[in-house]
Homo-oligomer: A and B are copies of this chain.
Amino acid sequence: MEEADGVRGRARRAVRAELAELALGLFVERGFDTTTVDDVARVAGLSKRSLFRYFATKEDMVLGVVDVMGEGFAEEVRARPAEETPWDCLRAVLHAWEARIRESTDQLARLRLIESTPTLRARLHQRRDESRRLIADALRERPGSGLDGFTAEFYTAAAGAALDAASSEWLRTGGATDRATLIDRAFTTLRPS
């Protein structure tokens, strides 16, 4: 039951990743809504029930990676120098995050699928929502931040808006533009330095 890293846990995560990749392929090929979980299970060679032991929901098969974001992000916010403004702090962390995300594979196909599937977009937002609280709290609890809950939440949500717009544009250009640069542009739009 413990999430501590045993051989078991690692194997499990490997299987999960494999299944996610397979599912993504199917969804991209046949469409998310028109592909049933049973379809995925059949192709993957296990039962629907077992599949749901790896993923809580169908959407999770696609979102998987994104969902852990919250805690890590909040932690990095806390680690930023105290003299940094909230806005710059968020920009910096988001920037660093982007660099890491770029390494994962299939980002373009995955994002395209998410963008074109309302169900998936909804889930994604739900996830981001849960993270937002965590991040806003981290922002407020920085030494000497002097932020109230409302302002902290707004900053965080605005940063999320930057991420959103950047992802959307990145997708529109077929992955040609640099997401990190776009994010910077968004941040600067509202706070020209």
Contacts and interface: CB of A to CB of B under 8 A. Distances in A.
Interface of A: 87, 118, 121-123, 125-126, 129-130, 149-151, 153-155, 157-158, 160-162, 164-166, 168-169, 172, 182, 185-186, 189-191
- In the assembly, how many copies of this chain are there? 2
A38 B107 CA distance: 41
Q: Which of A87, A130, A165, A191 has the most CB of B within 10 A?
A: A165
B190 A158 contact: yes
A95 to B, nearest CB: 16
Contacts of A190: 87, 158, 190-191
Nearest to A130: B118
Main secondary structure of the interface of A (DSSP, over half): helix
The 3 A-B pairs at the shortest CB distance, nearest first, are namely: A157-B161, A125-B125, A154-B165
Contacts of A153: 164-165, 168-169
A149 to B, nearest CB: 7
Contact of A125 (B122, B165, B186): B122
A150 B172 CA distance: 10
15 contacts: A87-B190, A118-B129, A121-B126, A125-B126, A149-B169, A150-B168, A153-B165, A153-B169, A154-B162, A154-B165, A154-B186, A157-B165, A158-B161, A158-B162, A191-B191
